[in-house]
Chains A and B, each alone.
Chain A
């Protein structure tokens, strides 16, 4: 059996998971990465996406938005601003998230009319949010 590593997924409101896993696929800001035991210590920010933790008893998927992941010798901790088990995710939740991102984009467009940076960021956030919808079967 492959080596396992301690994996914690916490959101500000609760601890969603704490288990031994073989691999965790993390939606990093610069692209997805898979962390396994013995991964180089890394800190990365998250983009909205699906995080899947592969454990000895199967794979669990979570939808996460924003936050960061810390991979160290002790284990992998993911601190997500919002995290929902994929199975519990409903269409309404997703719609609300997309709507929020759309509003953020509209606000950014208004507030930073002459600066493309924040507007692009907001647009990317929205695109990521919409992409999450393709992953969840709702």
Chain B
């Protein structure tokens, strides 16, 4: 049976934990709003970009001269997995879910006899993948210093990936990130970025005949690398929003649990105090009776 003083200390410490988790939840909520805004802002660009790319890809795609970024290298022997996670923990299952998806994917590819290479973005994913797939890691992008993800960060990652592609280091690249649905649900997603895949545009839209300046192939060659950066950027933004959402709900849970714990401890504290008082009374009364 813990003493009264122990219980009191315990309650105090859980109370301060609750304060911290509550504060973290509020910070995450504010950050989530900003992250969602950023994702919202980038949407028009991504949508238009993909529409144009789908148009272009449809008209050039079939020819032999199509760029490698679109048609692929003709093999899928070496696979690059770009695993994007957060730099900080305490956000529920967010990082584990992405890492788990990447792990199953990697294991499946290995079982098929393909070579797997892993590029990690974000410290947490690297730590989780280190144990099983540490030897497959080809690089890590550190975004610890980045407060707000900008397009330049995505460009940096894209540049690195494209340089590896041009160097013939891999054939297929897939990014792993969590798609933001709402605060309680983030879906870990795998998306192939090289060779590029675009959703086909709706039938009537494709009927517009555009003049291309310079020619279609030159435009495509110019835009495909940008497409990689754009996709990485939107994945980073989605991830940012998902991370904050996951943290918010994790911290909300933690705050609630702390509250429950405080209630339980308070009842225990009151009971023991009452027991002590009753004990003292019995002693006094029986002492008086003995006289």
- Chain A residues packing against B (C-beta within 8 Å): 8, 10-15, 28-30, 33, 40-45, 66-68, 70, 72-73, 77, 79, 81-82
Which B residues are in CB contact (< 8 Å) with A72?
208, 210
Q: How far apart sit A15 and B48, CA to CA, in the bound complex (Å)? A: 12
- Chain B residues packing against A (C-beta within 8 Å): 38, 41-42, 44-46, 48-49, 52, 56, 150-151, 154, 208-214, 218-219, 222-223, 226, 230, 233
Q: How far apart sit A10 and B46, CA to CA, in the bound complex (Å)? A: 10
Q: How far apart sit A70 and B212, CA to CA, in the bound complex (Å)? A: 10
Minimum distance in angstroms from A61 CB to a CB of chain B: 20
> Given the known A-B contacts A8-B44, A82-B151, are A28 and B213 also in contact in the complex, defined by CB atoms under 8 Å?
yes
Q: How far apart sit A81 and B45, CA to CA, in the bound complex (Å)? A: 9
Which A residues are in CB contact (< 8 Å) with B45?
10-12, 15, 79
Which B residues are in CB contact (< 8 Å) with A68?
52, 219, 222-223
Q: How far apart sit A45 and B210, CA to CA, in the bound complex (Å)? A: 13
Which B residues are in CB contact (< 8 Å) with A45?
213-214, 218-219, 222-223
Which B residues are in CB contact (< 8 Å) with A30?
213-214
**B226 and A43 contacting across the interface, CB-CB below 8 Å:** no
Give the interface SS of chain A, mostly helix, strand, loop or mixed: strand
Which B residues are in CB contact (< 8 Å) with A42?
210-213
**A12 and B230 contacting across the interface, CB-CB below 8 Å:** yes
Which A residues are in CB contact (< 8 Å) with B38?
13
Specify which of A73, A77, A81 is in contact with B151 (CB 8 Å cutoff): A81
Minimum distance in angstroms from A71 CB to a CB of chain B: 8
A-B contact pairs, 15 of them (CB 8 A): A10-B48, A12-B42, A12-B46, A12-B151, A14-B42, A15-B45, A29-B214, A41-B209, A42-B212, A43-B56, A44-B213, A44-B219, A45-B219, A68-B223, A72-B210
Q: How far apart sit A82 and B155, CA to CA, in the bound complex (Å)? A: 12
**B41 and A44 contacting across the interface, CB-CB below 8 Å:** no
> Given the known A-B contacts A10-B44, A12-B230, A45-B222, are A79 and B208 also in contact in the complex, defined by CB atoms under 8 Å?
no
Which A residues are in CB contact (< 8 Å) with B226?
66-67, 81
Known contacts A45-B218, A68-B219, A68-B222; can you find 12 more A-B pairs with CB under 8 A?
A: A12-B46, A13-B42, A13-B151, A14-B41, A29-B213, A33-B213, A41-B210, A42-B212, A43-B212, A70-B48, A77-B48, A81-B151
Which B residues are in CB contact (< 8 Å) with A66?
226
Minimum distance in angstroms from A35 CB to a CB of chain B: 11
Specify which of B42, B150, B154, B211 is in contact with A43 (CB 8 Å cutoff): B211
Minimum distance in angstroms from B24 CB to a CB of chain A: 27
Minimum distance in angstroms from A114 CB to a CB of chain B: 15
Minimum distance in angstroms from A36 CB to a CB of chain B: 15
